[in-house]
């Protein structure tokens, strides 16, 4: 059983590391700065997390692990309720998008930090950051790819991959820079409202996913 004092030290280290990584990225964040902010010594950081790389992994797991589990659990529940039949495109999209969009809820310091951290990780050129982000997201990406593939068997895998990349990219922009969406679509001054954004995204992307395949039309017949 973890003692309260020990748990408190770990949380202070994670809080300090999260702030540092969100502001300066993996390479720019200094362990000395994190140590000073958490009011612990360097040996304590290495005792709990072993390395800077594993400290970043722990920060990402604490902040985004529950989000990943919610997405996968809701998708599994929808598939079980469908009883082996294809889950409607709109339902898959709602699960795929609504959980991350909940991070845009105003007034939540935790959500604001999540968006700052995610924005930094997506744009951070550090190979370690990019590899970690890709590895952590791979299970979710694959689960939704397979769900759409079951629902849209007529769509070539290459086309489906392209279309899902467009969706993940649009979601990343909204999460990382909600102010851009506010200024471009809402006239500025209004916070991003997930309840309004979600149906717009579902309507648009459902149409795109169900559009005629491109890959097959690019294949010229053999004469």
pTM score, whole prediction = 0.85
Radius of gyration, CA atoms only, the chain = 20
Q: Contact, 121 vs 133, CB < 8 A?
A: yes
Q: How many CB atoms lie within 10 A of CB 145?
A: 14
Amino acid 161: pLDDT:
97
Q: What six digits make up the tokens of 40?
A: 């612990």
Domains, in order of start, for the chain: 63-214 (1.10.357.10)
DSSP 104-141: G-TT-HHHHHHHHHHHHHHH---HHHHHHHHHHHHHHH
pLDDT at 1 over 60: no
Confidence of residue 193 (pLDDT cuts 50, 70, 90): confident
Give residue-wise pLDDT tens across range 6-63.
Answer: 778 999 999 999 999 999 999 999 999 999 999 999 999 999 999 999 999 999 999 9
pLDDT tens track for 128-163: 999 998 898 999 999 999 999 999 999 999 999 999
For residues 211-218, average pLDDT: 78
In angstroms, rounded to a whole number, what is the distance separating the alpha carbons of residues 77 and 179? 33
DSSP secondary structure letter of residue 77: H
């Amino acid at each position: 059983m973890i003692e309260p004092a020990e748990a408190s030290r770990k949380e202070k280290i994670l809080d300090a590391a999260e702030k540092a990584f969100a502001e300066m990225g993996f390479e720019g964040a200094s362990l000395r700065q994190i140590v000073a902010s958490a009011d612990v010594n360097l040996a304590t950081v290495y005792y709990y997390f072993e390395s800077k790389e594993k400290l970043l992994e722990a920060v990402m797991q604490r902040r985004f692990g529950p989000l990943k589990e919610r997405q996968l659990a809701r998708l599994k529940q929808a598939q079980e309720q469908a009883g082996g039949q294809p889950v409607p495109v709109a339902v898959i999209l709602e699960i795929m998008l609504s959980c991350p969009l909940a991070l845009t809820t105003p007034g939540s310091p935790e959500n604001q930090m999540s968006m700052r951290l995610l924005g930094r990780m997506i744009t951070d050129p550090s190979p370690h950051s990019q590899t970690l982000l890709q590895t952590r997201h791979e299970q979710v990406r694959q689960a939704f790819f397979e769900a759409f593939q079951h629902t849209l068997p007529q769509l070539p895998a290459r086309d489906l991959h392209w279309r899902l990349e467009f969706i993940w990219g649009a979601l990343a922009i909204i999460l990382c820079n909600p102010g851009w969406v506010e200024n471009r679509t809402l006239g500025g001054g209004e916070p991003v409202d997930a309840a309004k954004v979600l149906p717009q995204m579902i309507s648009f992307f459902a149409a795109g996913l169900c559009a005629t395949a491109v890959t097959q039309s690019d294949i010229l017949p053999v004469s």
